[in-house]
Amino acid sequence: MTQPLRIGILGGGSNSAVGQAHIASLRMDGKFEIGPSLFSHLEDENRESHLKYGLAWSSHPRNIETFLKEYAQQLDLVAILTPSTQHIDHIEKVIDSRLPFVCEKPVACSSDQLSALHSLLGRCHNSRSYFVHNYSGYPMFRELVLRVRDGQLGPIHHVRVKMPSDGFARERIIGRPQLWRQSDPEIPMIMLDLGTHMHHLVRMVLERCPSSVMCRMHEMVNSFGVVDNVEIWEQRDDGVAVSYWMSKAHLGIKNGLSIEVYGSEGSLTWEQMSPDVLSQADLDSTVATVNRGSARQLATARDRFKAGHPTGFVEAFANFYSDLADDFMDSQAGARSSASGWIRPIGEAMDGIRFLATAVKASATGTWVRYE
């Protein structure tokens, strides 16, 4: 039996938004062992997180450099789950320690940071680098991708992806988000939070293609002056139109992630709130419901129980981590990845940042801007 990979975690403490989801996902399939980790720069929070996650406590390094110097030899890779605005700095420190890494989105927050990341990756040719794209771990989203690639829809002419929610609209009830989310860097935080995932899902369906981009951004409901609603329109040179809507300003929606793909022979729709179902329409406008029991093995290979028992967010997250483990170990062995293309190169995440930066420029100028 293959030994589990030892992963260290930076950030993602038990009081963070997503830390517990990462921990549960990493543990689900037994392919990772959580090694030395620095969940917070604050010793009390770091100690409390070790306790809540059931991990042995040893010491509290005074900073990330000290942590990496002390523990790098005990780890196979590092997960960077710190606030988005710190990612580029922490990626540099991990690269300098010669450790592979997986980074939560976004991998950068500006064009300058993106250039810096390109330089950093260029000086570590043998280091494997990954970005988190957990939403594409859902089996029925994967089935959608496979049906598009099979040509079941014919030539594609329109893709719509949406990710609305109501977090900022309920500010009076639930309070403000983390401090680092209360101001916008060069690319608004909502685009870094949500748009990065949405761009990835589109790229799973469509190959990269130059395009023209238009964007409209709003500050609708929040009291701290950040963008909370964004619409992006992309007209690709191959004739496909793509539209994006992301929001934290619309009451009654918790995470309305969905994707619709329209072709000359039919359409496919997948919604995260009904994760085990695809809707497929044909030329007669007959709409069929495709459930997980009808999906192919390539889409459901990570299933842990039979169809009829819905797949959840953390399970989809675990699918991503299991694919990452296989890709990592195949790479170590010099073999072709067995992760069936579900693990995407970090260059795709960097393309996503370039795309969002182009959208910001389009919004500022009120004109269509080229994305090459």
Question: Are residues 192 and 43 part of one domain?
Answer: no
Question: Are residues 64 and 159 part of one domain?
Answer: no
Question: Are residues 163 and 39 part of one domain?
Answer: no
Question: Are residues 162 and 110 part of one domain?
Answer: no
Q: How confident is the model at residue 335 (pLDDT cuts 50, 70, 90)?
A: confident
Residue 2: the pLDDT is: 80
Residue 108 has pLDDT above 70, yes or no: yes
Q: Mean per-residue pLDDT for 164-186?
A: 95
Of 100, 132, 164, the residue that ends a domain is 132
Question: Are residues 280 and 178 part of one domain?
Answer: yes
Residue 339 has pLDDT above 90, yes or no: no
Residue 125 has pLDDT above 70, yes or no: no
Question: Are residues 122 and 22 part of one domain?
Answer: yes
Does a structural domain hold residue 361?
yes
Question: Are residues 199 and 258 part of one domain?
Answer: yes
Q: How confident is the model at residue 180 (pLDDT cuts 50, 70, 90)?
A: very high
pTM above 0.85, yes or no: yes
Question: What percentage of the chain exceeds 70 in pLDDT?
Answer: 99
Question: Are residues 62 and 145 part of one domain?
Answer: no
The CATH code of the domain that includes 100 is 3.40.50.720
Q: Mean per-residue pLDDT for 148-174?
A: 97
The CATH code of the domain that includes 147 is 3.30.360.10
Residue 333: the pLDDT is: 85
Residue 270 has pLDDT above 60, yes or no: yes
Residue 337: the pLDDT is: 81
Of 89, 117, 132, the residue that ends a domain is 132
Residue 132: the pLDDT is: 97
Question: Residue 71 belongs to what domain range?
Answer: 5-132
Of 111, 132, 153, the residue that ends a domain is 132
Does a structural domain hold residue 320?
no
Q: How confident is the model at residue 58 (pLDDT cuts 50, 70, 90)?
A: confident
What is the domain count for the chain?
Answer: 2
Does a structural domain hold residue 317?
no
Q: Mean per-residue pLDDT for 187-214?
A: 98
Q: How confident is the model at residue 82 (pLDDT cuts 50, 70, 90)?
A: very high
Instruction: Note the pLDDT tens digit of each residue in 308-317.
Output: 999 999 999 9
Q: How confident is the model at residue 265 (pLDDT cuts 50, 70, 90)?
A: very high
Does a structural domain hold residue 314?
no
Does a structural domain hold residue 40?
yes
* CA dist., res. 290 & res. 262, Å (int): 16
Does a structural domain hold residue 16?
yes
Q: Which of 239, 227, 317 is nearest to 272 (CA)?
A: 317
Question: Are residues 200 and 76 part of one domain?
Answer: no
Q: How confident is the model at residue 126 (pLDDT cuts 50, 70, 90)?
A: low
Question: Are residues 195 and 68 part of one domain?
Answer: no
What mean pLDDT, rounded, does the chain reach? 95
Question: Are residues 163 and 203 part of one domain?
Answer: yes
Q: How confident is the model at residue 1 (pLDDT cuts 50, 70, 90)?
A: low
Question: Are residues 154 and 100 part of one domain?
Answer: no
Does a structural domain hold residue 99?
yes
Does a structural domain hold residue 335?
no
